Structure 1
Amino acid sequence: MSARADALPPAAEKPGAMQPRARFTAAPLDPQSRLWTLAAAAACLLPLLRQLPIPMALAIATIGAVIVTVTSRRRLPGWLRLLLAVALVGYVLASARFALGRDTACALLAAMLAIKPVELAGVRDARSLLGFALFAPFSTFLLDQGPLSLALGLVGVTLALAALLRVADLESGDIAHAAPPWRRLLGVWRLVAIGLPLALAAFWLFPRIATPLWGVPERALARPGLSDHMSPGEWIDFINDDTPALRVTFFGPTPPTSQMYWRGPVLWNFDGRTWTGSRWLRSLPPPAVTRAARTWDYEMALEPTERRQMVALELPVAAPDGTHLDHDYGLQAPRPLGTLTRWRMQSAAPVAFEPELRPYLHQLALRLPEGYNPRTVALARQWRLEAGDNDAAIVERALAWIRDDFAYTLTTPLLGRHSVDEFLFEQQAGFCEHFSSAFVVLMRAAGIPARVVTGYVGGYRNRYGDYWIVRRSDAHAWAEVWLAGRGWTRVDPTAAVAPERIYDTLADRAGGGGGGLAGLGGLTDRLAAVRDVADWMRRGWNDFVLGFDAARQQKLLQPLGIERLDPRGLIALFAAAATLAIGWMLWLTARAEREGDRLLRAWHRLGARYARLGFARAAHEPAGAWAARVAAARPGSDELQSLSARFAQWRYASLDGRTQGRRELDALVRALRRHRP
């Protein structure tokens, strides 16, 4: 081949040859933009992780941190990324026992967001990750709507939008003159301020319907709460949970703490280990009850449990609207309690509770499985022979035995086949599950109808809000025995052995009895006060945000003398507020479009100050010519000419010819704002 041919480029060598297709490459991320993207994604993921089970949340967070660390040096191969995604999805589904619900879907979203940084290489990847991350804060509200979730969600959204602005500056090629982080965050909150009035108007004034038109799927894993089954040792995690289960406000007199038994599911059936409720009894009407003269009037706010079971102070006079009162005076909600609910009720203690027991219920309340707990059955039969027909004497004898020989403890070994025998004759220590179950078995074996009742007992008065908090750790199980002439009578064997554990207050548990905070005195009081204030604030959030329903919306303007707003009035009020909010948005948007540049805004304000003195700048007049004209008419205007030259240099010089930096721009803006003619 000749030298001439060697000198020709390949295209000249073969004019008709096909040229290789140019490969598209996304703009790479600089380290600071990558850091912003990852920090924003982590902030969006945090509120969602808080709502997942702790082991699952730790696993997802750990995998995400490992991926970020590894991919900062090199990119993982495609087969490894696919294997990682499949393994993580399998772990989440296995942890949820392959049950589908909104918590499972949210956990899958969190897992996918944790491994998404494996693809983070360029601007397009960063924009994809940030857009995907914005789903996480909003998904959090499917699981929790508390103020902390809202605050963390707002932080995540703010950082994500600020990171998008950073990525936009990088893509435009003007990253050297990008705004500092604090100004970028301020710009995001300005955008929020533009839409906030319309959002508030829609929340407070848009007409609400009493019941939703649609719902969301139930959770695959229910939250801790009462259910219609109980096994010895099953409640250990439940009664160690100190989060609120309900808050109660009494109108008028308040019952003593020892009488605050919050009745839940009643358990009739025993298979030798587990107590369960009788489903067919729920359809029967409540039996006759003779009540005490004192009636307690109260409002109860129930925390979400994803279950239909409710509780009420013994015994509810009537079922609140929309609920069902079953045969055992247990309350059932029409749908799972997935959000905070509020109920107004009245209760009165029973004097005679179902004094006439139907034969089939009498037999059901005596039923025991064959071949279980022979020592307990033998002891009960011996007591029956000694007591004759005196059922009350047998009850008192059992309580005296428990009071003298038993102890209360949460540290219990797992019981075997004859669980009641092991508890009564060997272990003789446990908590409410063990005491109530053993007591009812003992009574049934002695021929006394008995059943287990679950619920909560006691409460803690918040000193700031003047309301009562019943926590999940107040979960309790007690017994009811049927006595002739009196009907079902409450007997609490746990209170016989440990009344201080049943009726104490939160402060007693924290500082009494030689506990970890005993002797700290004032510190314990201060911690309790802080906790009271925090719960009082949470209750306010529940009342004014989560509890704002259609009924409260219609009474929104009662402080202004308007007793009730009908739907037409609400629509008119919303339309007026929305019109003002949209006008605010349009004004701010148009103002930003006219003067989006802060340097230009400062320059226009300077011109307005001179215009008030008769030296307005003509629309066609350049900045330098205008400054020269003012200097000719007003000697000593050298500063204006200097500012005009600096403004023109920054505003109209090419990017390459611009020598000023960010600090010089800030100094120029400040000088324009300070200058007065």
Structure 2
Amino acid sequence: MSLRQTLASLPRDARDTLFLLAVIAWVIAPQAGHLPLWTSALAAGLLLWRGWLAWTARPLPHRWVLLALLALAVGATLVTHRTILGREAGVALVVVLLALKTLEARARRDALVIFFLGFFTMLSNFFFSQSLPTAVAMLIALLGLLTALVNAHMPVGRPPLAQSLRTAGTMALLGAPIMLALFVLFPRMAPLWGMPGDTLSARSGLSGSMQVGSIAQLALDDSVALRVRFEGPGNAAPPQSQLYFRGPVLSQFDGREWQATTLPGALNWSGRMAPPADLQVQGEPVRYAVTLEPQKRPWLMVLDATPDKPTLTGMGAFMTPELQWLSTRPLTDVVRYSAVSYPQFRHGPQRSTAQLRALTDLPPGFNPRTLALAQELRASPAVASGGTLALIDAALQRLRTGGYQYTLEPGVYGEHTADEFWFDRKAGFCEHIASAFVVLMRAAGAPARIVTGYQGGERNPVDGYWTVRQSDAHAWAEVWAPERGWVRVDPTGAVSPGRIGQFQRLQAPRGVLGEAMGAMISPGMAQRLRATWEALNNHWNQWVLNYTQSRQLDLLKALGFESPSWQDLVRALAGLVGAAALIGALWTLWERRQHDPWLRLLAQVRQRLARAGLTLPDSTPPRTLAAQARAHFGPSADALCAWLLQWEQSRYAPGSASTTHLAALRRQLRTLRWP
């Protein structure tokens, strides 16, 4: 016997229970990556246990067993999260409660509790992700829960799940306009919840610090970090070699790790940063809009250099003296902002200061050979006469001609990371190169620091947006020169010019699945599919996740409101919902009075008979219709006559007229052989 036949032979209670358990598993599954392992394992075990009880028709466990499991779940939540309140602890507890509730579903009231717990758990998925795949998965979950709810309200007979699914789909479609109105007009508010060590392998991405030499292998993370749309004719972007999106600036070094340093006096009592020293911009500005993915950091990624505050809705922003723009709170959702940058700029003091001299400090006892190399370069005639700029050129020339390599697998460095890079390994990715370069500059007496961020990007041919990925995370150097200020130097470009200019990325090794997909799909097709999918995600971010209150008010302005406010949004929403409710009530009243579904079904039979050559008045009762059809068509109308008599009995017999009988008659009519 096949699985389908086995499921069809199960009692209705068992079939409906298994369907509901499958829907609950679908609702819980996306949260497995955010829940503690014990929570996912316990929920899966409880659902499998309940499914086995339904399959084998065994009784439900005793209430004391459930109380013991509940106490265990609460205790484990307290041990894991130190509380049962808050987002993570609350969601974990709700998931376990939902699974436990399925083991005591003895009455209709218990089933309703399961349904509403399922709806709440479905919504809690959006606490962790508002992506398009999550939304699609939860839409499927919504239809599944509605199907189970509709099916629970059909207590008589064995209605097929397909019928309940059609009813649930109709309900969802009828509710879609109200859902759209709520999305468009419901006043946008701040989020109702908040967000509260490296190993020998890591994934590329941006971090607030940089630990050099502790990563043996770097895997390229192709997830999207930000999307950029440039303004102007054809959305033309600057050359890729100029696309430096500035992030944290690292100036404090302990021999192994680079960290950002907050400069004294940078932050005043108003919470705003002092303006950077002597920022001068020139040339044509670059105007663009950024869609930044959630990063749980306050960094606003903008191109070098951006003198004016990015246009950001709902939060403040300020600039540090190192030209980095920060928001006033961590970015836990997709954020969209506009900015104006000047690729040609100068910044920093023109003469040496105490703060600049502090940027020549190095920890004692580290990298003795690099210190000796720095003195050798400083003593050369070209550097002695040319100063800091000549020192930079000499170091870059050594990188170009010294056999250095840009690689994702440099191995683990020892204590003297700069020495190993310059003299032993001669291989690394951008953090090794930038760190060794800055150590060399400082050893030679030139103030220097590391700037991290993203470099480059690729244009999506589908929507015209530039996509910057985590694999584009980059580290470069800034060296201070008298009369010039801070000078950007990208030593990685000297080792691997394609990394900066033509933007040729190293490729991480593909696994077995990647090799199999590469054999099935051509690279061009895979690239087009990827571009289409990312464009679709970008539209979701732009029009759904970034539908802010300012866009709502712009919509009201387009509808004729002179100076709209959130009160106007509430009034417009209330009026629209009230009008929809009134129209729905009037339609229902008219439908009940004028269009009895039983009479509509009988009218379909009369129309079919008329097409077959037997035309009868609309007032002909079903018994007369059966007699006329038998007289006109003979024995070939016996099935139709039996159906008409069954319709009469189902419609007029006391207590028999129900939606279940009506649905059964509709199915029989579709399979009926006509004379």
Q: Provide TM-score, normalisation by structure 2.
A: 0.78
1:131 aligns with 2:129: no
Could you give the per-residue CA deviations for residues 65-95 of structure 1, whole angstroms, max 9, x where no partner exists? 4444445157678888778767777877888
Mapping of residues 560-579 of structure 1, within 5 Å: 566-567=564-565, 573-579=572-578
Equivalenced residue count is: 620
Instruction: Give the distance between the partners of 2:439 and 2:80, measured in 1 at CA.
Output: 36
* Superposed displacement of residue 378, structure 1: 3.2
- Letter of the 2:222 counterpart: D
| Structure 1 unmatched ranges of 5 or more | 1-27, 618-622
Conserved in 2, the CA contact under 8 Å of 1:45 and 1:113? Answer: no
Mapping of residues 137-536 of structure 1, within 5 Å: 137-169=122-154, 172=155, 174=156, 177-206=157-186, 208=187, 212=189, 215-219=192-196, 226-232=206-212, 240-252=220-232, 253-280=236-263, 281=266, 283-321=273-311, 322-356=316-350, 359-386=353-380, 387-388=383-384, 390-403=387-400, 404-504=402-502, 523-536=522-535
* Superposed displacement of residue 196, structure 1: 2.0
* Superposed displacement of residue 416, structure 1: 3.8
Residue aligned with 1:304, SS: coil
Conserved in 1, the CA contact under 8 Å of 2:296 and 2:332? Answer: yes
Conserved in 2, the CA contact under 8 Å of 1:304 and 1:340? Answer: yes
Residue aligned with 1:279, SS: coil
Residue aligned with 1:36, SS: helix
* Superposed displacement of residue 140, structure 1: 1.6
Instruction: Give the distance between the partners of 1:107 and 1:368, measured in 2 at CA.
Output: 48
Instruction: Give the distance between the partners of 1:585 and 1:130, measured in 2 at CA.
Output: 26
Per the alignment, do residues 587 and 270 of structure 1 end up closer, same or farther by CA in structure 2, a change over 3 Å counting? Answer: farther
Conserved in 1, the CA contact under 8 Å of 2:204 and 2:220? Answer: no
Instruction: Give the distance between the partners of 1:608 and 1:583, measured in 2 at CA.
Output: 34
- Letter of the 1:379 counterpart: L
Instruction: Give the distance between the partners of 1:551 and 1:504, measured in 2 at CA.
Output: 39
Mapping of residues 89-128 of structure 1, within 5 Å: 102-103=87-88, 105-110=90-95, 113=98, 126-128=111-113
Moved more, 424-433 or 349-358: 349-358
Conserved in 2, the CA contact under 8 Å of 1:340 and 1:546? Answer: yes
* Superposed displacement of residue 475, structure 1: 0.7
* Superposed displacement of residue 36, structure 1: 0.8
Instruction: Give the distance between the partners of 2:404 and 2:78, measured in 1 at CA.
Output: 44
Conserved in 2, the CA contact under 8 Å of 1:324 and 1:332? Answer: yes
Instruction: Give the distance between the partners of 1:661 and 1:575, measured in 2 at CA.
Output: 39
Per the alignment, do residues 294 and 635 of structure 1 end up closer, same or farther by CA in structure 2, a change over 3 Å counting? Answer: same
Instruction: Give the distance between the partners of 2:529 and 2:44, measured in 1 at CA.
Output: 34
Instruction: Give the distance between the partners of 1:36 and 1:501, measured in 2 at CA.
Output: 53
Instruction: Give the distance between the partners of 2:303 and 2:657, measured in 1 at CA.
Output: 79
Per the alignment, do residues 651 and 521 of structure 1 end up closer, same or farther by CA in structure 2, a change over 3 Å counting? Answer: closer
Instruction: Give the distance between the partners of 1:66 and 1:534, measured in 2 at CA.
Output: 35
| Structure 2 unmatched ranges of 5 or more | 1-10, 197-202, 268-272, 610-614
Conserved in 2, the CA contact under 8 Å of 1:34 and 1:126? Answer: no
Could you give the per-residue CA deviations for residues 295-320 of structure 1, whole angstroms, max 9, x where no partner exists? 11111111111211111111113112
Moved more, 352-361 or 332-341: 352-361
Per the alignment, do residues 293 and 607 of structure 1 end up closer, same or farther by CA in structure 2, a change over 3 Å counting? Answer: same
Alignment root-mean-square deviation, CA: 4.5
* Superposed displacement of residue 595, structure 1: 9.8
Instruction: Quote the residue 1:665 is aligned against.
Output: 665
Instruction: Give the distance between the partners of 1:652 and 1:518, measured in 2 at CA.
Output: 62
Instruction: Give the distance between the partners of 2:173 and 2:347, measured in 1 at CA.
Output: 60
Mapping of residues 560-599 of structure 1, within 5 Å: 566-567=564-565, 573-587=572-586, 589-590=588-589, 599=598
Instruction: Give the distance between the partners of 2:81 and 2:473, measured in 1 at CA.
Output: 25
